[in-house]
Structure 1
Amino acid sequence: MLRVGVGEYLLFHAAGVATKDGDVLVLCAGPGTGKTTASAVLAKHFGYVSDEMIAVDPESGEVSPYPKPLQVIVPGSGSRKDLVGPDDLKLLHPPQTLRLRQLFILDRERDPAESFAPTIEPIDVPLALELLISQISSLYLLPTPLQLLCRYLADSAGPLVIRYAEADTLPALLADWLEEERPDRAPAFTWSPSDTSGAPLDAPSGSRFQRRAPLDAVQLDDALAILIHSEFFVLAGIGTTIWNATAEPATVDDVLARVVAEHGAHDDAAAIVSSVLQNFVHQGILANVP
């Protein structure tokens, strides 16, 4: 499915379970973070969608199930793991029609205090985008991928992280969240598409500065999120000012004047701007152009 869905679906490295109504709760996390164990426990209460890959149609939000066997510890074998089918584990089947309800970031506490209790907490949008993008395959092959993610996050309960220690605490935690969550509320945050003009990757070299043309860019409340090929960046403060000042080729003095106009004079303004410009070139955010 991964090979077939590349460039067509949002492919999350994630576990997923579904309510009786077909609403899919996606639990995004990296390898070795407990997705399979969480899936095996949750799918005794919710429909099992996958423990590894969640494919979401970028336009409709429909989810394609991938109920692969789970690699679980064989009872009585110590720590040996084996692949066991979901039916053998008596996991529940999801409804036939599935749609994305909520994206969660799964954060397992490996050394919890005795008083540790699982929680579902909001996190900042830029951080959520960074964490989610790191768990999406070939995101850059989709059109307007940042806008897609922002749309799904804003139209749901916003970016949320599940902090937990033991998987057996998750069913009650998610059941309580579903009971309290109101799908008809206002958008969780505001965002808007941003200009994607800039220098192409094959632009000739020169002494002026111009931003690289991003694949997508999104203006958030106090930050600018950009995706340049497969690299994700969040700009704020003078970083955003420099980005806006280099929509067309600009000299160091051009950029400095824009920064001073927006942020005020500073004894070290020239050195700071020069340093940021060079750093942005090194990171691939800006290009040196004629």
Structure 2
Amino acid sequence: MSGTTAHLVAFGVPWTLDLSHLAAEDRYEVHRRWERCRADVLDADPELTPQTTPVSPGSSAYDLSRHITRRSIDQQLGRLLLLHAAGLADPTSGATLGLIAPSGTGKTTSARILGHRFGYVTDETLAVRDDLAVVPYPKPLSVIEEGHPEFKRELSATDHGLLPTPRDPRLGGTVLLHRDPTLLRPGLEPAPLLDAVTQVIPQTSGLAWMSRPLVRLATVLTAGAGVHTLHYAEIGQCGDLLERLLDPGSDGVTAERDWAAVSPPPGATLPAPGSGPVSNPATSLPDGTRLVRAPWTDALAVDGEVLVLIGSTPLRLAGVGAIVWTCADQPVTVETVTAHVVDALGPNPSDADLVAAAALELVRVGVLVPAEGPA
């Protein structure tokens, strides 16, 4: 296990590491750290470009890990849903929980501690296919050096005693990690779907490059046990709670499931990935102005609210704002929208002013635009 090349697969992306410049003991260390990702035959998927990189003497093990992760993400943009999450699986069924958190806030610690009870899938990037199959990435554990948060050590998953990745892992639920050192005991609660989507969007890679990104994300967050928030002080106390989520017969808490996709019209020009809404400095809307939705990428409707994605920017609309946007699928006047608001919410002496103010604000932030052409 000290050859001059190492063949790996990082969530589906084939890699060859050139170790010829390393001493024998250093080659051994690279093979040992990456043995969970080792592949004897490289995947010949024509849609992916095999990656090759030399490993130099004295180079950082963490820099190599980060390089492999970033380049592999680039290869899978738009193909897989990529969550910044640890992945832990039931050793028998392969049902996998994604433990989602920002960098440096608990993913690797969760994998390191709970990986003795659950199968180790990844400590960093959880890749999910359209059919909810999980593409494993059991990389070395990237552990922060105590007292030196800017440095990370790379630990072999096998040397650390983590359980192997089950065959054919499949998403069984998602968990938002929320550590609070003052808590006496951990707790698990369902996360409202739009709250969860809004929190998770920043913890994805390349979401805006996917077709129907919000639909894909909502599908993942309502899969299996659904999405929950885990409040805890020490992750080692949470094994029983997480195990319940993967138990189909559990009488545990129920996650929100109901949502509706709002699709852009066929043939519509969508905002470019990485873009956002175009603001408008308007201070008023002339009488008779017709408004229509600005170009948008995807949207979800949940319990009277709408989450609209424009390029890479999500905007959450509730109450009057949600009704105004919903009515503006075709050019519509503020007066017509006011009638819809009254039907939905009941009459109010300030209806006209409230709707006009909401419509103007949606124009200003770039969610609605004045319609062109004759009425």
TM-score (norm 2): 0.67
User: In the alignment, what sits opposite 1:36?
Assistant: 108
User: In the alignment, what sits opposite 1:91?
Assistant: 162
Kept in 2: contact 1:154–1:189 (CA 8 A): yes
Pick one of 198, 210, 215 that aligns with 1:147.
Answer: 215
Kept in 1: contact 2:212–2:297 (CA 8 A): yes
Moved over 6 A (4+): none
After superposition, what is the alpha-carbon deviation per residue over 1:88-126, rounded to whole angstroms, capped at 9, x for unaligned? Answer: 2222211231111111111111x414xx21111112111
Distance, in Å, in 2 between the alignment partners of 1:78 and 1:153 is 35
Distance, in Å, in 1 between the alignment partners of 2:270 and 2:221 is 30
- Gaps of at least 5 residues in structure 2 are 1-71, 272-277
Pick one of 166, 170, 179 that aligns with 2:234.
Answer: 166
User: In the alignment, what sits opposite 2:355?
Assistant: 273
Pair 73,260 (structure 1): closer, same or farther in 2 beyond 3 Å: closer
User: In the alignment, what sits opposite 1:51?
Assistant: 123
SS at match of 1:66: coil
- RMSD across aligned positions (CA): 3.0
Mapped pair 1:69 → 2:137? no
Q: Show the 5 A alignment for 1:119-158.
A: 119-158=187-226
Q: Which moved more, 1:221-230 or 1:92-101?
A: 221-230
SS at match of 1:273: helix
Structure with more relative contact order (C-alpha pairs < 8 Å, separation 6 or more): 1
Pair 10,181 (structure 1): closer, same or farther in 2 beyond 3 Å: farther
Pair 222,244 (structure 1): closer, same or farther in 2 beyond 3 Å: closer
- Displacement after TM superposition at 1:188 (Å): 4.9
Aligned residues between the structures: 282
- Gaps of at least 5 residues in structure 1 are none
Match of 1:112, as an amino acid? Answer: T
Pick one of 158, 173, 176 that aligns with 1:105.
Answer: 176
Distance, in Å, in 1 between the alignment partners of 2:82 and 2:259 is 23
Distance, in Å, in 2 between the alignment partners of 1:187 and 1:36 is 25
Larger Rg: 2
Mapped pair 1:227 → 2:295? no
Distance, in Å, in 2 between the alignment partners of 1:177 and 1:251 is 48
Q: Which moved more, 1:190-199 or 1:210-219?
A: 190-199
SS at match of 2:238: helix
Determine what percentage of the aligned residue pairs are the same residue. 34
Pair 78,138 (structure 1): closer, same or farther in 2 beyond 3 Å: closer
- Displacement after TM superposition at 1:83 (Å): 1.8
SS at match of 1:134: helix
User: In the alignment, what sits opposite 1:242?
Assistant: 324
Match of 2:90, as an amino acid? Answer: T
Pair 230,119 (structure 1): closer, same or farther in 2 beyond 3 Å: same
Distance, in Å, in 1 between the alignment partners of 2:117 and 2:165 is 11
User: In the alignment, what sits opposite 1:26?
Assistant: 98
